[in-house]
Structure 1
Amino acid sequence: MDVIAHYAWIVWIALVLIFVIVEVTTLEFTFLMLAIGSVGGLLTGLFGAPWWLQVIVAAVLSVLLLFTVRPPLLRALKRGGDPTPSNVEALLGQRGTVVVPIVDERGQVKLQNGETWTARLLSNSPASSTAGPTLDTGSPVIVTAIEGSTAFVVPAERN
């Protein structure tokens, strides 16, 4: 038991380093709170407390920090985020124009953002039928889904 108490500071420093390294990769503040709790255990040990008290102090401090400090930090971190949709989310609902007629579920559309996509007519749209849905060049469409490099579209009203 004396050996544990004598070398506990090494364990605390190792835990702090491990928690900080993991925190740098996750950025969720969980391991940061555990690292600060471990510092509390280290400081308790430096003041001569037994190892079991060091563990209790580290655990209590970590739990308190997780439930009191971490939530406001996460809110502050996410507050500055850009709410503008990007990637696939930015394409959903976007209007476009058919540039290669959509025949037998294949064609191309040019979207408002200038991108040209392979397009398929969504099977439950009003223009679809058993004879093969078609949309002529210049027809307005709205993107409803993206699957791979194909935009699924439905006919839109002309402006």
Structure 2
Amino acid sequence: MLEWINDFGWIIWLTVFLLLAVAEMLTLNLYFILMSVGALASLVAFLFGAPLWLQIVIFCVVALATTVLIRPLALAHLRRGPADQLSNVDRLIGHHAVVLEPVSTNSGLVKIGGDVWTARIRDGKEIPMGAEVEVAAIDGATAIISFPTVHKATGTAAIIG
């Protein structure tokens, strides 16, 4: 068995690299991709004739070093920009929506922009189909909606619901 590993170790390191890369694609947390760099370093060490114990040490050292040194820099780069900048579904809060199916505290459908969302209201009476509403919050894949109203004295909008 040890002889096979010495002859075909590149297959093992390539497999480890591919498995770690697939794990990274599934998790997207920047751990597995950095560990896969360690597998590539060990593959290169194998190709230069390093013994198995050295290949394992290289894998461990490179995986640990990239995780400790590169991951914080990569995460900081990904989080660049103003802290108050909204992303993803947070951008939908405050947008107008049209009710496609009556919305109650339990169920309903609304169209926000070009997308159809499940919706509900926190409390109050059912909102009929065709009503124009405003997104007050997002709870998972459900939009929490309310009626926008305009204050007569100030002319500003407020949310009821």
Interval of TM-score (by shorter of Structure 1 and Structure 2): 0.5 to 0.7
Question: Secondary structure of the equivalent of 1:151?
Answer: strand
Equivalent pairs counted in the alignment come to 121
Match of 2:11 in 1: 10
Quickly say closer, same or farther: Cα 1:41–1:18, change in 2 above 3 A.
same
1:83 corresponds, among 85, 95, 98, to: 85
Q: RMSD across aligned C-alpha pairs, in angstroms?
A: 3.8
Say which one has the larger Rg: 1
Identity of aligned residues (%): 26
- TM-score, length basis structure 2: 0.56
Alignment of 1:106-125 (within 5 A): 106=125, 116-117=132-133
- Greater relative CO (CA pairs within 8 A, separation 6+): 1
Pairing 1:48-67 to 2, within 5 Å after superposition: 48-67=49-68
1:53 Cα deviation after fit? 1.7
Partner Cα separation in structure 2 for residue 39 and residue 149 of structure 1: 45
SS of corresponding position for 2:79:
helix
Say if 2:107 is the partner of 1:105: no
CA drift at 1:21: 2.9
Q: Shift of the alpha carbon at 1:40?
A: 1.0
Give the TM-score normalised by the residue count of structure 1: 0.56
Whether contact under 8 Å (1:117, 1:150) holds in the other structure is: no
Query: Aligned in 2, Cα 1:106/1:86: closer, same or farther, shift over 3 Å?
Result: farther
- Whether the 8 Å contact between 2:34 and 2:66 is mirrored in structure 1 is yes
Q: Give the unaligned 5+ runs of structure 1.
A: 95-103, 109-114, 119-142
Unmatched tracts of structure 2, length 5 or more: 96-122, 155-161
